[in-house]
Amino acid sequence: MPDQSLIDAERAKPVPPQGHFIDGAWGPASDGGTRPVISPIDGRPFATIAEGTAEDVDCAVAAARAAFEDGRWSGLAPAARKRVLHRFADLVERNALELAVLGVRDNGTEIGMAIRAEPGSCAGTLRFYAEAADKIGGEIAPSSPDILALVHREPVGVVGAIVPWNFPLMIAAWKIAPALAAGNTVVLKPSETASLTVLRLAELGAEAGLPPGVLNVVSGSGSVVGEAMGLHMDIDVLAFTGSGATGRRLLDYAARSNMKRCYLELGGKSPNVVFADAPDLEEAARVTAHGIFRNSGQVCIAGSRLIVERSIHADFTRRVAEIAAAMRVGDPLDADTQIGAVHSEAQLSANLRFVETARAEGGEVLTGGDRILAETGGYYMAPAVVDNVAPTAALFRNEVFGPVLSVTPFDTVDQAIALANGTDFGLAGAVWT
């Protein structure tokens, strides 16, 4: 963790108005539209981004198409692309503190997690795919002697990438690193509520040697920029991370346009199943609490459902609630904070509504569930543990994406498995035994 004074110095830096990054240059939205950037730390605006239009998407796709077709990137030797991607990772690492603090001001993640998960993981992903660039080749398929069947891997063309607000850099890297390593060009759309680090990433990519048009970033809303990308006839592939509801829309856009391939990474409601014979129940309780509450529960794989054997249910749940109540919620740029800000006012309201509904459906709130630190102007919530949540309850079945843990006891292994699988979500799961 860097020194607090270095974090504070980064926090004090003004952020100039941001445009789109298209064809290697910055520019405004086609109609001059902008959107304020509100910090969840204090609820105040501290920057502006361009409010993109469908015309801006057309411009970015045209730049990406031209860059793809003339081979300025796809035509390079794989080892040359690898060198650029390694330089890109070097620059992300060199600017890690700036990127992490800027991202926290934008999305509210506690700084300790942000440094590891954002520039740290972004650079790691860029390096992984940099190495893949000159190692993934084709195949010769087994066939009869008079036939030669080759599997030749080549870039697809223009990749559209749409990412959410919780880990913008980490997730942007999941999209752009494999696409670029293979020689594709990219149009990347960050979340309208967390764009700043992704815009800076585009600049670092150019500095690393990505030719103009190879990585373009268009900021703006899902309903305008995202939809225009989904329906675009000249985007060949869509790589998306976000909610299931938006994922469904993208499949629909693809069906209504050029049937582009869609790769979707969606939400979760991950079960954390604890048996009475788990060797270290204290550690299980600590990990259960941290697994749901860090980053205010805004993690796709957060262990949001505790499914616990009835013989230890009361003691174990009480212990988790005690750990939750002792976690330090506050300014995410304070190095000692364990739970930072909820990302937005809308997300905070949705979280509070989930707790209210859970109560109405018979759940017992053991701790938390309220807005706190309202005097800061920021969006903070005390982590909530809700006991005896029925498998039919809204809290059991839906992703909150906030600091709310639902607890449901079980008696038999079969019941535990049925409960763990009892939602429409996939993603992660854990078993303690």
Q: Which residue has the tokens 């992300």?
A: 92
Closest CA to 11 of 109, 104, 119: 104
- Annotated catalytic, 300? yes
Tell the burial category of 13 from Cβ atoms under 10 Å away from its Cβ (0-12, 13-18, 19+): exposed
Q: How far apart, in whole angstroms, are the C-alpha atoms of residue 122 and residue 199?
A: 14
241 contributes a contact to ligand NAD by CB under 6 A: yes
Question: Cβ(117)–Cβ(197) under 8 Å?
Answer: no
In the residue annotation, 265 being an active-site residue is answered as yes
User: Which string of x and - marks every residue 268-287 that binds ligand NAD (by CB under 6 A)?
Assistant: x-------------------
User: Binding of ligand NAD at residue 354 (CB under 6 A)?
Assistant: no
Fill in the per-residue mask, 90 to 129: x = in contact with ligand NAD (CB under 6 A), - = not in contact: ----------------------------------------
One residue of 112, 120, 157, 222 binding ligand NAD per CB under 6 A:
222
d(CA 359, CA 395): 10
Which residues does 307 contact at the CB level (< 8 Å), separation at least 6? 271, 272, 273, 274, 408, 409, 410, 416, 419, 420
Q: Interacting stretch for ligand NAD, rule CB under 6 A, among 25-33, 46-54, 263-271, 402-410?
A: 263-271
Determine if 265 is a binding residue for ligand NAD (CB under 6 A). Answer: yes
Contact between 308 and ligand NAD per CB under 6 A = no
Q: Give 242 or 409: the residue with its C-beta nearer to ligand NAD.
A: 242
Instruction: Report 167-196 residues binding ligand NAD (CB under 6 A).
Output: 171, 189, 191-192
- Closer Cβ to ligand NAD, 9 or 346, answer by number: 346
Q: Cβ atoms within 10 A of the Cβ of 243, count?
A: 16
Partners of 159 in beta bridges: 186, 237
Containing 267, the helix (H) or strand (E) segment is none
Minimum CB–partner distance for residue 402 and ligand NAD (Å) = 11
Question: Number of residues in contact with ligand NAD, rule: CB under 6 A?
Answer: 28
Phi first, then psi, for residue 31 (nearest 5°) are -105, 10
Amino acid letter at 140? I
Binding-site member from 101, 179, 218, 300 for ligand NAD (CB under 6 A):
300
User: Residue 298 or residue 337: which is nearer to ligand NAD going by CB?
Assistant: 298
Which residue in 59, 100, 111, 162 binds ligand NAD (CB under 6 A)?
162
Under the binding rule (CB under 6 A), the answer on residue 243 touching ligand NAD is yes
Find the catalytic residue in 93, 98, 203, 265.
265
Q: Which of 110, 122, 300, 399 is catalytic?
A: 300
Task: Using DSSP bridges, classify how beta strands 364-367 and 430-432 pair: parallel, antiparallel or unpaired.
Answer: unpaired
| Closer residue to ligand NAD (CB): 170 or 323 | 170
Q: Are 60 and 187 in contact (CB under 8 A)?
A: yes
Question: Are 196 and 221 within 8 A, CB to CB?
Answer: no
Query: Considering only CA atoms, which of 95, 98, 90 is closest in space to residue 124?
Result: 90
Please identify which residue in 53, 107, 246, 406 interacts with ligand NAD, judged by CB under 6 A.
246
For residue 330, give the DSSP letter.
S
Residues across the chain:
433
Residues in contact with ligand NAD by CB under 6 A are 162-166, 171, 189, 191-192, 221-223, 226-227, 230, 241-243, 246, 249, 265-268, 300, 399, 401, 427
**Residues acting as catalytic residues:** 265, 300
